[in-house]
Structure 1
Amino acid sequence: MAVVLLLYLVAEVAAVWAVGSAVGILGTLGLLLAGAVLGSWLARREGARAARAFMTTARAGRPAHNEVTDGMLIAFGGLLIMVPGFVSDLAGLFLLFPPTRALVRRAWLRRAERRMAAANPNRVIVVDSEIVPDDQRHPIIEG
């Protein structure tokens, strides 16, 4: 984890240095400020959209795991936008745009499902309020 943080800091400094060399100090500060303003507006808009989608799904009685994951990714993207730097701004924008966020959401949910399956290898099936270990089949189900 420390290596990842160090690599992130080096990439962030290199990006700011490169942009600063190309457009100057005032241009770099302007780009950083514009990224923060654009990102906060986009995070607010996408956050409101995700909240409406969550409410619609919850009222319909359907599972809202996609909407909850979207809300979490939007919040994380908004946080990344507020961190000064171009690498974090790009990562935050990546999470705020719906098409790229959908890619991250699918990967995140797939990973969570694999981790849950690995954490609980001995499944338990509940049949008629009776707890039955997965290796002992219930006579009604075997049919």
Structure 2
Amino acid sequence: MTTGAPTPTRPARPKRSRLRTFLPLGVAAWLVLEIWLLTVVAGASSGLTVFLLLLAGFVAGSAVIKKAGRRAFQNLNEALQRGGTPQKSSGNGLMMLGGLLLMIPGLVSDAMGLLLLVPPVQRGLGRLTERTLDRTLRGAAPGGLGDAFQQARIHRPDGKVVQGEVVREEPEDDGDRGDAPHDDPRPPLTR
């Protein structure tokens, strides 16, 4: 029996992260829960009540986002007038997220949005987010932003790093820079 050419092997696919695996399932479950709760409320009262709840959530969410945006812009303006940097955080991001959750149709998102508007929850969640982000950034790449700039180098195809600088030689000034022809053999870029 003769054997043909060996079957090429494909490189192993990278393992899918848990987030990419379960996020679509979580979003689908959340949407089903939102629709089910809206139908339960509509069955207990009326469709007009559900519509008014959704409209009130949208109006309240847009007002919260507007207020948080104004506050963030005011903080930035004051910092620029002082000549410094803006304050670390005053909860504007979480307030905007709460407003956005209020604007999304549904009762669960409205409850989460209202929860994000409570100041103690904002402070606790802000500290948790800051610690998580700091730990993630420290684990991702050693060093800080300066190291990122240091790592941005030109790599040749063989993997060797080429470091250097551009040196431009300025022609000596003879005093006469009129329309005299230059010694440069290259044609001008525009004609």
If asked which structure has higher relative contact order (CA below 8 Å, sep 6+), I would say 1
Give the residue type in structure 1 aligned to 2:67: R
Task: Spell out the pairing of 1:95-106 with structure 2 (5 A cutoff).
Answer: 95-106=116-127
Identify the residue that residue 34 of structure 1 maps to in structure 2.
Answer: 56
- Deviations 1:31-58 (CA, angstroms, capped at 9, x unpaired): 1111211222122123322332343345
> Considering only CA atoms, is the larger Rg found in Structure 1 or Structure 2?
2
* Separation (CA, whole Å) in 1 of partners of 2:42 and 2:65: 26
Q: Give the conservation status (yes or no) of the 8 Å contact 2:76–2:86.
A: no
Structure-1 residue corresponding to 2:40: 18
TM, length-normalised to structure 2? 0.54
Residue 143 of structure 2 aligns with an amino acid whose one-letter code is R
Please, which moves more after superposition, 92-101 or 76-85?
Answer: 92-101
Partner of 2:89: 66
Matches within 5 A, 1:74-113: 74-113=95-134
Deviates more, 1:102-111 or 1:42-51: 42-51
Deviations 1:7-31 (A, max 9, x none): 2112211221222122211111111
Instruction: State yes or no: 1:123 paired with 2:162.
Output: no
TM-score normalised to structure 1 length:
0.69
Deviation at 1:82, TM superposition (A): 2.2
Letter in 2 for 1:80: L
Structure 1: which 4+ aligned runs deviate by more than 4 Å? none
What is the percentage of aligned positions where both structures have the same residue? 33
Q: For residues 75 and 136 of structure 2, what CA distance do their matches in structure 1 show?
A: 27
- Counting matched residue pairs gives 123
Please give the secondary structure, in 1, of the residue aligned with 2:89: helix
Q: Which of the two has greater helix per residue?
A: 1
Aligned to 1:137: none
Matched, 1:53 2:75: yes
Confirm or deny: 8 A CA contact 1:47 1:74 kept in the other structure.
Answer: no
Computed over aligned residues only, the root mean square deviation of the Cα atoms, in angstroms, reads: 2.6
Give unpaired runs (5+ residues) of structure 1. 132-143
Alpha-carbon distance between aligned partners in 1 of 2:43 and 2:32, rounded to the nearest angstrom: 16
CA contact (8 A) 1:16 1:86 kept: yes
Gaps of 5+ in 2: 1-22, 151-191
Aligned partner letter, 2:94: L
Greater alpha carbon shift after TM alignment, 57-66 vs 43-52 = 57-66
